[in-house]
């Protein structure tokens, strides 16, 4: 699985946090969630943290699930 990349974030004057993925806005965090994000991003790999908070990451099983008989296109 490839490492997450292409994420950026910025803290606005009102304390909210904007997260972009490859130049497009992915999410905005406000209040307690923004503070929790900032604490977590300082202590861990920032790219991985942003991928987790935005949901922009792969689980590694997409191809397997696509080929499962239950998901076969008819």
pLDDT in tens, 55-70: 866 655 556 666 777 7
Strand partners, 24: 21
Q: Indicate yes or no: pTM above 0.85.
A: no
What burial class does residue 27 get, using C-beta atoms within 10 Å of its C-beta: 0-12 exposed, 13-18 middle, 19+ buried?
middle
**Helices 46-54, 31-43: crossing angle, 10 deg rounding:** 150
Q: pLDDT (tens digit, 9 = 90+) per residue, 7-32?
A: 999 999 999 999 998 899 999 999 99
């Amino acid at each position: 699985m490839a490492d997450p990349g292409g994420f950026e974030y910025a803290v606005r004057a009102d304390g909210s946090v904007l997260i972009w993925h490859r130049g497009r806005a992915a999410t905005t965090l406000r209040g307690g969630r923004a503070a929790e994000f900032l604490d977590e991003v300082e202590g861990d790999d920032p790219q991985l943290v942003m991928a987790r908070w935005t949901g922009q990451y792969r689980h590694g099983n997409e191809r397997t699930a696509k080929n499962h008989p239950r998901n076969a296109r008819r």
